[in-house]
Homo-oligomer: A and B are copies of this chain.
Amino acid sequence: MADSIKVFAPATVANLTCGFDILGLAINGPGDELVAKKTSGSGVTIVSIEGDEGRLSKDASKNTAGISANQFLQEIDYSGGIEISLYKKMPFGSGMGSSAASAVAGVFAVNELLGRPLNQRELLRFAVEGERIACGSGHADNVAPSLLGGITLVKSYEPLEVLSLPVPPNMYVAVLHPAVEVSTGDARAMLPKEVTMKASVKYAGNLAGFVSALYTNDLGLMRRALIDEIVEPKRAALIPHFYEIKEAALSSEGVIGFGISGSGPAMFALADGLEAIAKAGGVMEGILKKRGISANLYISEVNTAGPKILD
């Protein structure tokens, strides 16, 4: 067994319009890279973080990668030391699951390095714990798709149960990240604490309809189900030209849905086929560009593999 391993964990689109806090999917890129190395000593040490503009703590008890890896080591009673080098290759505060990708990269790397004592699904709770301790809330809607790939549903939090849903064979994703920052905390503060029963029933009906559509590969139903009347109207205010971009994306041929990625400001579109998503992505990006707002556009299939070993 090698003494060192390099891994990649993908960015994710959480909420996915109709599944606030519980639905998400993984994309092929961007994502975080992480090198884990056996050392003398004990526990996890973060030796370097690149690409973080100095924003992340190298204290392994405060960084999602360090926390999830450490929790894992405790669980399997590993007494040796692990050195982690983290290469942040994706934007912070973007709504693309940056902290989740680090958490998944950390625990995935250590599990692989130590000969895979646990299976992939068993790693989930360590990554969730990383999110909980580092970010204050143990959301699984980013870590689940980053770890398991594909489209995931957090069926329940107590106990934590995550389902892998079918991925339509030709589904592509565009993620557009405008160069504005939205803190997850600010975005959460905008959420209503309560919703009407009627709104709650609508939300559940759309989510359940979307799940059904994934099993039957009914693209029309997916589109009719990818609706968010609770969170999107609040958070749209944080995102420049949101409704213009939404309308343009949904008018582009082959587009299945559109929405805010996680807590934003990134937006995403789903489409049937590479050509359709490339066109939709271009249209979305064009709206920001002509206003002089710089943005990054990521085009990808739905990533069904989750994290992977790079070396």
Chain B residues with CB under 8 Å of A154's CB are: 205
Mark each residue of chain A from 109 to 149: 1 if its CB lies under 8 Å from any CB of chain B, else 0: 00000000000000000000000000000000000000000
Determine which of B155, B163, B192, B197 lies in contact with A191 in the assembled complex, contact meaning CB atoms within 8 Å: B197
In whole angstroms, how far apart are the Cα atoms of A113 and B193 in the complex? Answer: 52
A176 at the interface (CB under 8 A from B): no
A181 at the interface (CB under 8 A from B): no
The answer to whether B165 touches A212, judged by C-beta atoms less than 8 angstroms apart, is yes
A100 at the interface (CB under 8 A from B): no
The answer to whether A153 touches B205, judged by C-beta atoms less than 8 angstroms apart, is yes
Closest Cβ of chain B to A232, distance in Å, is: 14
A74 at the interface (CB under 8 A from B): no
Count class of interface residues, chain A: 35 or more
The answer to whether B202 touches A200, judged by C-beta atoms less than 8 angstroms apart, is no
The answer to whether A209 touches B163, judged by C-beta atoms less than 8 angstroms apart, is yes
The stretch of A19-27, A65-73, A275-283 in contact with B is: A19-27
Determine which of B21, B153, B155, B195 lies in contact with A224 in the assembled complex, contact meaning CB atoms within 8 Å: B155
Given contacts A200-B200, A201-B21, A215-B215, contact A224 B192 (CB under 8 A): no
Closest Cβ of chain B to A55, distance in Å, is: 29
The answer to whether A193 touches B196, judged by C-beta atoms less than 8 angstroms apart, is yes
A108 at the interface (CB under 8 A from B): no
The answer to whether B197 touches A196, judged by C-beta atoms less than 8 angstroms apart, is no
- A-B contacts besides A154-B205, A193-B196, 5 pairs, CB < 8 Å: A23-B208, A155-B225, A163-B209, A194-B194, A207-B207
Q: Shortest 5 CB-CB distances between A and B: which pairs?
A: A155-B209, A200-B200, A204-B204, A215-B215, A194-B194
Chosen A-B contacts, 21 in total, with CB atoms closer than 8 Å, are A19-B204, A19-B208, A20-B204, A22-B205, A153-B205, A153-B209, A155-B205, A155-B208, A155-B225, A156-B202, A156-B205, A156-B209, A161-B209, A161-B224, A193-B197, A194-B194, A194-B196, A200-B204, A200-B230, A204-B204, A211-B212
CB within 8 Å of B: which residues of A? 19-23, 153-157, 161, 163, 165, 191-197, 199-212, 215, 221, 224-225, 230
